[in-house]
Amino acid sequence: MMWSRNPIKVRELRVLMDGVTNLEENLQELYTEVNRIIKEGDTETAREIVDANYEALLSQLGDEAAGIEQAAMLDILAQLRLSLGDYDEVEQLLAQVGEICKYITYMI
């Protein structure tokens, strides 16, 4: 039996992987930048950045079904809130990650 590759599937996989790589890079950049701002002592600006990203994410969640990208963003925001000492917000964000993961599992 000869194995043949489906070029359409390979192309789709490459596009998906490029998107994942871009998402990872963007999340890492956000995480690094906000932590740099926190270390400089400007927690007000750091909170404003986290809040703005959270608001943008909420509008995205309202427009479409939640997916792994949104869960990853919430996870990064939770880590940044932890760095800021905002423990109540961390709990809320992680609960949202859990809900998205339940949704993703249900959809599979």
pTM of the model: 0.74
Mean pLDDT across 94-103: 90
Task: Encode pLDDT of 32-82 as tens digits.
Answer: 999 999 999 999 999 999 999 999 888 877 655 568 888 999 999 999 999
pLDDT band of 5, cuts 50, 70, 90: low
Kindly tell me the number of DSSP H helices and DSSP E strands found in the chain: 4, 0
pLDDT digits (tens, 9 = 90+) for 82-94: 999 999 999 999 9
Question: What distance in Å separates the CA atoms of residue 58 and residue 95, rounded to the nearest whole number?
Answer: 14
Residues 6+ away with beta carbon under 8 Å from 72: 23, 27
d(CA 70, CA 10): 25
